[in-house]
Amino acid sequence: MRDRKDLLDYYESFGMREWQRLETPSVGAIEFAVTCFALEKHLPSKGRVLDIGGGPGRYAIWLAKRGYQVVLADLSPEMLSLARLKVSEAGVSDAIEAIIEVEACDLSSWSEGSFDAVLSLGPFYHLFEDADRKKAAEELVRVLRPNGVAFIMTMPRYAFLRRTVLLSDERHHILQADWILQLMEEGIFQNDVPGRFTHGFGFSVEEIAPFFESFGLSTDVLLAAEGFSAGLESSISELTLENPSLYEEILRIIIENASDPSILGMSLHVLYVGVKSGVFKSDA
């Protein structure tokens, strides 16, 4: 995996922000709610789960509280240190089998068919090299058991374009024809603003399912992780205090319509849910 240092520096600058992101209504709470809905619907009733790229452990803790045996893996030592603290605070250490430094492209720590489910809710939009994406997908499917479930978060290309328009000191990229072409044709997001998200990869929505299916997954669903809320986050988040019941109803509508194809490409994240077929293609 190339540019590992840039990625590590980016996330290690976050500290607690990455933990707090998924509970903040204006930032990631809707993404968390949609993802947890998908987990509740598609996970097996019990089993061993790998959370690769799990950062400070919010999903690992969520899984542990529901009786799953969890391995939490990430490439950031700082995020893993925070995860150990949060796991201890949550009182779920017995359900967390390991907290380990691992890259998504190399899951050789585990044999084929080691997990009933795999969560990869961050790595794939950091893998801008085609070979790295393919290796990460191959490894993810390899460690899944037959009929195991994969939950993979991706970012669509328009998400990178939208963030560039939103941030005033990044807008100069819009006037760079080669930059736009690279993003919209190849999905590669490069950012020359220090300390910001860079070396990203955005799928076109039409590519997501065929890509993962080519490695032996059968697609269950694609979900817009923010639903139709992109651009409305601040207004919706205000309702958590002003009108909590209205907020909950809006959240219900977002979750209920998260699979609507018309909103997938404009969401900040798209969650892919797929099941491993009985025979992995490399075994054929």
Cβ atoms 219, 277 nearer than 8 A: no
Query: Considering only the top CATH level, what class is 4-156+204-277?
Result: alpha beta
Residue keyed to tokens 């195991």: 148
Using CA atoms, how far apart are residues 78 and 233, in angstroms rounded to an integer?
A: 29
- pTM higher than 0.85: yes
Q: Could you say which DSSP state residue 282 is in? A: G
Question: Tell me, what's the pLDDT at 194?
Answer: 86
Can you say whether residue 160 is alpha, beta or left, with left for phi > 0 and alpha for psi between -120 and 50 degrees? Answer: alpha
Contacts of 86 by beta carbon, 8 Å cutoff, 6+ apart: 19, 56, 57, 58, 61
The pLDDT assigned to 26 comes to 86
Q: Which mean pLDDT values do the consecutive 10-residue runs of the chain (284 residues) have?
A: 58 74 90 97 97 96 98 94 97 98 96 98 94 97 98 97 94 97 96 88 97 98 95 90 96 97 95 84 38
* pLDDT at residue number 153: 98
CA distance between the termini of the chain: 27
Pairing of strands 200-201, 188-189: antiparallel
- Which residue type, as a one-letter code, is found at position 160? F
Distance CA 277, CA 268 (A): 29
CA distances (Å), 50 to each of 56, 61, 129, in order?
14, 12, 23
What are the extents of the domains in the chain? 4-156+204-277, 157-202
- Which residues lie across from 115 on neighbouring strands? 144
| HSE-up (13 A, CA, CB side) for residue 51 | 26
Contacts of residue 12, Cβ cutoff 8 Å, sequence gap at least 6: 76, 77, 78, 79
Residue-level pLDDT at 93? 97
The one-letter amino acid code at 149 reads V
Which residue's entry shows tokens 């909103």?
Answer: 263
SS3 of 255, please? helix
